């Protein structure tokens, strides 16, 4: 089973049958792609590999040609022309060595194998549908179904996720950190990173300017040591 990198929001150019180049737009996860990376494209329901006419035949080699992170666009080039048009709603996944459907349907040509982990979404699982979607297993699509760890069944593996932060203040942050430490210290777990949107960090910084950092140190406030670089 391969890891889903993104769903295609729109085809910007190319992608028709008889061509071997396509650019998709509206990509919200461009950090998951890099030039030269091999991928596959599947139908929206994850049952049919779209880069060949016969699922058990040798599929078209498809590679990432360019990534425009600022515009949210990714371009792909195939080693041969597409036999099926690339369309919105289809799924871009890591290229695996199996021809089975993402839902387990179809015939395997080789055993399922994981071809890497797309990023923090593989291991940062909160058990909350709003954050995770409906898949609460560690490693998500890369998990082995028979041995998958659902964090709602095994909460010792659960990450802390807050869906409605509002304006993040030092007091709120202290509460969140205290909650995590109280729950996870007995497992020997610690916080290795804090992740939030730019808006949350900017609002947090705004609460500190002229009120907290300057009053305490006499220096201008900075997020360099508070997760902004990693956030």
pLDDT tens figures, 73-132: 999 998 888 878 889 998 888 776 444 444 444 443 333 444 445 567 677 888 888 877
My answer on whether 16 and 98 are in the same domain is yes
Strand, coil or helix: 93: strand
CA angle 15, 19, 24 (to 5 degrees): 20
Q: Nearest 5°: phi and psi at 142? A: -85, -5
My answer on whether 112 and 200 are in the same domain is no
pTM for the model stands at: 0.50
At 159-173, the pLDDT tens digits run 888 888 888 888 888
My answer on whether 114 and 124 are in the same domain is no
Question: Is the pLDDT confidence value at 22 over 90?
Answer: yes
Please give the pLDDT value at position 37. Answer: 85
My answer on whether 48 and 139 are in the same domain is no
CATH of the domain at 94: 2.40.30
Confidence at 1, pLDDT banded by 50, 70, 90: very low
Confidence at 158, pLDDT banded by 50, 70, 90: confident
My answer on whether 59 and 129 are in the same domain is no
Query: 147: Cβ–Cβ under 8 A, 6 or more apart, which residues?
Result: none
Residue 146 inside a domain? The answer is yes
Residue 188 inside a domain? The answer is yes
- Cα–Cα distances in Å, from 170 out to 11, 112, 162? 43, 46, 15
Question: What is the CB-side half-sphere exposure of residue 50 using CA atoms within 13 A?
Answer: 25
The average confidence (pLDDT) of the chain is: 75
At 31-82, the pLDDT tens digits run 889 888 888 888 777 666 666 544 444 556 788 999 999 999 999 998 888 8
End position of a domain, from candidates 85, 118, 151:
118
Query: Total structural domains in the chain?
Result: 3
Range of the domain at 171: 161-217
Residue 200 inside a domain? The answer is yes
Strands (E), the chain: 4-7, 10-14, 21-25, 38-42, 62-68, 73-78, 91-94
My answer on whether 72 and 147 are in the same domain is no
């Amino acid at each position: 089973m391969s890891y889903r990198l993104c769903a295609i929001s729109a085809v910007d150019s190319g992608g028709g049958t008889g061509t071997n180049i396509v650019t998709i737009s509206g990509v919200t996860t461009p950090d998951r792609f890099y030039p030269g990376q091999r991928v596959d494209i599947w139908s929206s329901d994850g049952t049919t590999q779209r880069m060949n006419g016969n699922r058990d035949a040798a599929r078209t080699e498809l590679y990432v040609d360019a990534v425009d992170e600022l515009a949210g666009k990714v371009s792909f080039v195939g080693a041969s022309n597409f036999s099926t048009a690339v369309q919105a709603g289809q799924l871009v996944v890591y290229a695996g060595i199996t021809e089975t459907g993402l839902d387990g349907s179809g015939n395997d040509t080789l055993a399922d194998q994981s071809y890497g982990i797309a990023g923090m979404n593989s291991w940062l699982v909160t058990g909350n549908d709003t954050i995770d979607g409906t898949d609460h297993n560690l490693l998500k699509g890369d998990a082995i179904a028979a041995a998958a760890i659902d964090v709602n069944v095994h909460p010792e593996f659960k990450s802390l996720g807050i869906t409605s932060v509002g304006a993040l203040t030092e007091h709120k942050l202290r509460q969140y950190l205290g909650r995590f430490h109280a729950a996870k210290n007995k497992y020997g777990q610690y916080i290795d990173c804090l992740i939030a949107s730019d808006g949350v960090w900017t609002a947090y910084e705004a609460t500190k300017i002229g009120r907290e950092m300057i009053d305490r140190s006499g220096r201008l406030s900075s997020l360099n040591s508070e997760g902004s670089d990693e956030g």
